[in-house]
Amino acid sequence: MGDPMVTPEQLYRWLAALGVDFYAGVPDSLLKAFCAYVTDHAPPGRHVITGNEGGAIALAMGYHLATGRIGAVYLQNSGLGNAVNPLTSLADPAIYGVPMLLVIGWRGEPGHKDEPQHVQMGQVTRATLEAIGVPHTVLPAEPGDAEAAVKAALADVVERQAAHALVIRKGTFESYALQTKVAQPYSTTREHAIEQLVASLPNDAVVVSTTGKPSRELFEVRKRRGEPHQDFLTVGGMGHASQIALGLAMECPNRPVYCLDGDGAVLMHLGGLATIATVAPANYKHVVVNNGAHDSVGGQPTIAFKVDLCAVAKGCGYRSARRVTEADKLEAALAELRESPGPALVEVRVKTGSRADLGRPTMTPQELKQAVRDYVS
């Protein structure tokens, strides 16, 4: 027999027995099984996948104001950066004193190999919680101990009328497959869309790609094509690729700058579109690959299929924005994007999923950064 593990159902039922029946958050790979169980089993109106983690904290505050009850907020530890402001400026006992339970995936836990973007946050996760005055408990993997830890954490939330965090190690949960699937009306794969994008690029273009599988697929496409790896792969900092691309575009006005973005990333910091449109660099080209899901961390849905991203971009001031839903229209749309003055956007609707053998970049972030620096200078 293997090591004991907590089932997602067990944690969900323990929390329900303690009065927690509202969930908000941003999905995480270490919490994939639990997030999937919540998505499948939370009643209507009792679960919201938010644009960013700070919004989830605020949503749990609103829930408490209306009901007096305790909400749960789930997030990856990298998302603590988005959550610190509302935790310290609003929910803290010195201000409003709003009780809530945080469920945090501990990527980059010291002593455990992980991707480079998780190493620093993994080292400082517990210290960060301590610094902002949020007590935390590392959830044991043994179910009996885990249940006792959950009860103690909720008792602390009630007594202090403040947040308490359950920190979740890799391998704590048994697997659970998401049953609530994102509708798949589109036939194009994300990797095919990226191949088409790369084929359409001007020779002097620079690409900034978003967090997760889009960057991994871009790296693989360049490798297959035998092309140099001179793209900036934004391996962490979800939602910030568009502003990195903006900084490049402003300082390299004679070079086309493409941002390869994802739907979840765009939604996380939607105000970035307004900033891009206001600065309005003519060399800025924005490609959003939209599969309606947080594909890199378990496939939980985003709301991006319900949002007219092209209308949002145009409303912010983009010079043009176009949606592509059919594979045979993509080449023409990217050719038009190439010739259009920026800021210009193409949203490509694709299906979820990726190759089972999808690799990871074989260059370090520092090597990738230097390759981009050498290329643009």
pLDDT, one tens digit per residue, over 71-107 is 999 999 999 999 999 999 999 999 999 999 999 999 9
pLDDT confidence of residue 289 = 96
The pLDDT of residue 34 is above 90: yes
pLDDT confidence of residue 301 = 85
Tell how far CA 315 is from the center of its chain.
24
Average pLDDT score over residue span 14-33: 94
Count of Cβ atoms closer than 10 Å to residue 369 Cβ? 13
Residue 356's pLDDT band (boundaries 50, 70, 90)?
Answer: confident
pLDDT confidence of residue 333 = 97
| CATH code 3.40.50.970 region(s) in the chain | 8-168, 190-376
Residue 273's pLDDT band (boundaries 50, 70, 90)?
Answer: very high
Residue 355's pLDDT band (boundaries 50, 70, 90)?
Answer: confident
Query: Does the predicted TM-score (pTM) go above 0.85?
Result: yes
pLDDT confidence of residue 320 = 97
Q: Which fold has domain 190-376?
A: Rossmann fold (3.40.50)
pLDDT confidence of residue 66 = 97
For residue range 152-178, list pLDDT tens digits in order. 999 999 999 999 999 999 999 999 998
Average pLDDT score over residue span 146-157: 97
pLDDT confidence of residue 15 = 97
Average pLDDT score over residue span 224-251: 94
For residue range 126-141, list pLDDT tens digits in order. 999 999 999 999 999 9
pLDDT confidence of residue 2 = 62
Average pLDDT along the chain: 94
The pLDDT of residue 260 is above 80: yes
Average pLDDT score over residue span 293-309: 87
C-alpha dist (Å) from residue 129 to 27, 78, 83, 155, 271: 19, 12, 11, 18, 27
Residue 184's pLDDT band (boundaries 50, 70, 90)?
Answer: confident
Count of Cβ atoms closer than 10 Å to residue 186 Cβ? 20
Give me the CATH code for the 8-168 domain, please: 3.40.50.970
Question: Are 98 and 63 spatial neighbours (Cβ–Cβ below 8 Å)?
Answer: no
Q: How far is Cα 195 from Cα 325, in angstroms, rounded to an integer?
A: 16
Closest by CA to 262, choosing from 51, 114, 116, is: 51
Residue 138's SS3 state is strand
Which of 298-307, 324-333, 343-352 is predicted with the least confidence, judged by mean pLDDT?
298-307
The alpha carbon dihedral of 19, 22, 24, 29 has a sign of positive
The pLDDT of residue 1 is above 60: no
Average pLDDT score over residue span 170-199: 91
pLDDT confidence of residue 116 = 84
Question: Are 98 and 22 spatial neighbours (Cβ–Cβ below 8 Å)?
Answer: no
The pLDDT of residue 293 is above 90: no
The pLDDT of residue 328 is above 70: yes
The pLDDT of residue 300 is above 90: no
Strand order in the sheet with 71-76: 47-49, 23-25, 71-76, 100-105, 163-168, 136-138
pLDDT confidence of residue 353 = 85
